[in-house]
Structure 1
Amino acid sequence: MNCSILFTDLPLHERPQAARDAGFDAVEFWWPFAEAVPANREVDAFVRAVDDAGVRLTGLNFPAGDMPAGDRGLLSDPSRSHEFRDAIAIATGIGARLGTTGFNALYGNRIDGVAPAEQDTLAAENLAVAGLAAAAIGAVVLVEPVSGVDAYPLKTAADAVAVLDRVGSDHVALLLDVYHLAVNGDDVEAAIDRYAGRIGHVQIADAPGRGEPGTGDLPLSAWLERLTAAGYDGWIGCEYKPTGSDPFAWLPAGARAGSTTRA
C-alpha cells in the first residue's frame, strides 16, 4: 500500500500500522518529509513508525519538490539538483534500515529558459550517482512516466526507457505505473512485452479516476497476469485514491501480504 495516497485521514506516522491492521506487510511512501534534508530526529521517527508496525518499506520516493504546486522532481533542475544529491544518502540510509528495494526518482518538469538537452544530461548524471548508492543496499532507482502535468517530459514507457539508455546503468530501472501509462494513451500490453526486463517496480490504479481496482475500466488483472508471464516477480504498489468505505474490498484478506502472495 502506498501510504502517501492511502490512509490520508491519519497522521503520517500512524499509516504503516493502519496498513498492517488491514492485512498488508509492505508499504511505500512518497518523500515523507517537508524538506529534502530532514533532521535526524524526523528520519528516526519515520523509521520507527514503519519498524514498529512490522511492515517493510519496499518503495520510497526521492524528494520531488512541491507536488501540490505542480513540481515533479528535482534531478533535472540545475537550480535544485543539489537537493536531490543531498537526499540520496538519506533515502538509501532509510532503505538500508527498512529493506527498501526501489527508490522512485521523479524526473522533473521542463524549465523555461533551460535547454532540454542540458536537463537530460544533468538527469542522467544524477540518476547514475543515485543508482550506485541504491545498488550498495541491493536496490534500484526507478524512472517513472507520469500523467497530468504537461511540463513533465516522460509520458510513455518508451520515454522512460530512453532515459535508462542514456544513463547506461543496471541500477536504474523502469517504474511501470499502468494508470499513468493508460491515461497518457500508451499501449500497456506492448510496454510489458517490450520492456519486461527493464521493469523494476509496478504500480496500479484504475481509470478513469485513479480509484481502486474495479472502479474503472482498465484490465488490471490481465495486465498483472501478463507481467507474471513475462517474468516479473517484484512488488505491486497500490497507488490509488480510495473511493468507497472499504478501499481494500477488491483484494481478499488472504492475498494482501506480499510474503503470502509469493508463497
Structure 2
Amino acid sequence: MTRLAANLSMLFTEHDFLDRFQAAADAGFHGVEYLFPYAHAPARLAEALEEAGVEQVLFNLPPGDWEAGERGLASLPGREAEFRDAVIEALRYAEHLGCPRVHAMAGLLPEGLDDRARDEAREAHHATYLENLRFAAGEAARTGRELLIEPINTRDMPGYFLSRQDQAVAVIEAVGADNLRLQFDLYHCQIMEGDLIRHLERLLPHLGHVQIAGVPERHEPDVGEVHYPAILERLEALGYGGWIGCEYRPAAATRDGLGWGQAYGLRP
C-alpha cells in the first residue's frame, strides 16, 4: 500500500503553517513532513497533528544559518559542538511529535578552492561526517529513532557534500549503525544519476524514506520526465512499506494539482 505524506514546507502554502496539517488531512494525506519544526513549540505542533489526525513522519535537524545559505552541519569541521546540540534539539522535538525519523543535512563544501585544496577539504568533511553521524545515530537509537541522510543534486544545491547514492551507502556502511538509513529522493537521483527503478531495487535494504517530485521543474509528479506510477508500483512490489514524501512545488493551488494522487487516496 502506497502511503503518501504531504511536505508542508512546499504543499498547502496557501494556508498559514499550522493550518496546513488540517488542509493535508482534508486532501486525503495521512502523514506529513516538512523541513524544520523549530519556529513552533513542540506542544503546538503536537496539537495540530492530533487535531488533523495525521502522523509526523520526518523533519530535518537544525541546519545552521539557513537564511545565510547554510545547508546542514553534519560534515562541517569545527562545528561539531553545534551539530551535537542540533541532534539533541531534533530528538527532543521528535519525542514530542512521535516522529520516528530525522534527517541530518550534510552541509556545503567551501567555495573557490583549487583542486588540491578541494580534495583536502573533502577528506576533512568526510572524517567529520562519519564521526558526527556515529554520535547522532547513537543518540537516535536511545529513543528508538532512525537517522537519515539524503543525497541532494548539485544543480539545486551547488557544493552539497552528499550528492550520489553510492556515496551515501558507503557512508552508511562506514558508520555501521543499524538505524542510519537512506532518504531516497527520486527527484534528486534523476537529476544526478537516473536509472531510478534499478537504484531502488539495489538500495532497498537501506531505504528509510522516499520522496517524489516531477523532474525537472519540481512540480507535481505527473508532470515531467519521470513516470511515477511505474516507480510506485515497483516499490510496492518490492515490499517497501515506508512513507512516500510529496516534496514538490505545486504549479498552482495545491488541491488543483492533486489529480495525480487519486489512485492513492488523495482528494483534489
TM score, norm. by length of structure 1: 0.87
Q: Identify the residue that residue 85 of structure 1 maps to in structure 2.
A: 84
- 1:177 to 1:254, Cα distance in 2 relative to 1, 3 A: closer
Cα distance per residue 1:65-114 (max 9 Å; x no partner): 34465422111112433232112222222222323122111111112577
Letter in 2 for 1:75: A
Between the aligned residues of both structures, percent identity stands at 39
Contact 2:146–2:180 (CA<8 Å) still a contact in 1?
A: yes
Structure 1 position 216, deviation (Å)? 1.2
**Is the counterpart of residue 131 in structure 1 residue 137 in structure 2?**
yes
Cα displacement (A) at 1:211: 0.7
Residue in 2 that maps onto 1:173: 181
1:1-263, aligned counterparts within 5 Å?
1-33=6-38, 42-67=41-66, 69-111=68-110, 115-147=121-153, 148-245=156-253, 246-252=256-262, 255-256=265-266
Ranges in structure 1 where 5+ consecutive residues have no aligned partner:
35-40, 258-263
AA matched with 1:116: R
Displacement of 1:254? 6.5
Displacement after TM superposition at 1:140 (Å): 0.9
User: 1:150, 1:96 → 2: CA distance?
Assistant: 33
Alpha-carbon distance in 2 for matches of 1:79, 1:51: 39
The alpha-carbon deviation at position 172 of structure 1 amounts to 0.4
What residue in structure 1 maps to residue 3 of structure 2? none
- Give the number of aligned pairs: 251
Aligned residues of 1:102 and 1:141 also touching (Cα < 8 A): yes
Output the aligned Cα RMSD: 2.2
SS in 1 for 2:137: helix
Cα distance, 1:71–1:145 mapped onto 2, change above 3 Å: same
Deviation at 1:171, TM superposition (A): 1.0
The Cα of 1:56 is off from its aligned counterpart by 0.9
Aligned to 2:242, the other structure's residue is in SS state: coil
Letter in 2 for 1:220: Y
Matched position secondary structure for 2:259: coil
C-alpha deviations, 1:139-193, integer Å up to 9, x for none? 2111101021221132221121111122111110111100000011343222112
Secondary structure of 1:174's match? strand
Tell me the distance in 1 between the aligned counterparts of 2:140 and 2:29: 25
Give the Cα–Cα distance (whole angstroms) in 2 for the partners of residues 9 and 80 of structure 1.
36
Separation in 2, partners of 1:175, 1:83: 23
Displacement of 1:27 after TM fit? 0.3
Q: Distance in 2 between matches of 1:132 and 1:12?
A: 32
2:126 is paired with a residue of what secondary structure?
Answer: helix
Taking the aligned partners of 1:206 and 1:193, their CA distance within structure 2 comes to 20
Aligned-partner SS, 2:261: coil
What is the DSSP-based 3-state SS (H/G/I as helix, E as strand, rest coil) of the residue aligned with 1:173? strand
Give 3-state SS (helix, strand or coil) of 2:210's partner.
Answer: strand
Question: Which has the higher relative contact order, 1 or 2, with Cα contacts under 8 A spaced 6 or more apart?
Answer: 2
Q: In structure 2, list runs of 5 or more residues that go unmatched.
A: 1-5, 112-116
TM-score, normalisation: structure 2: 0.85
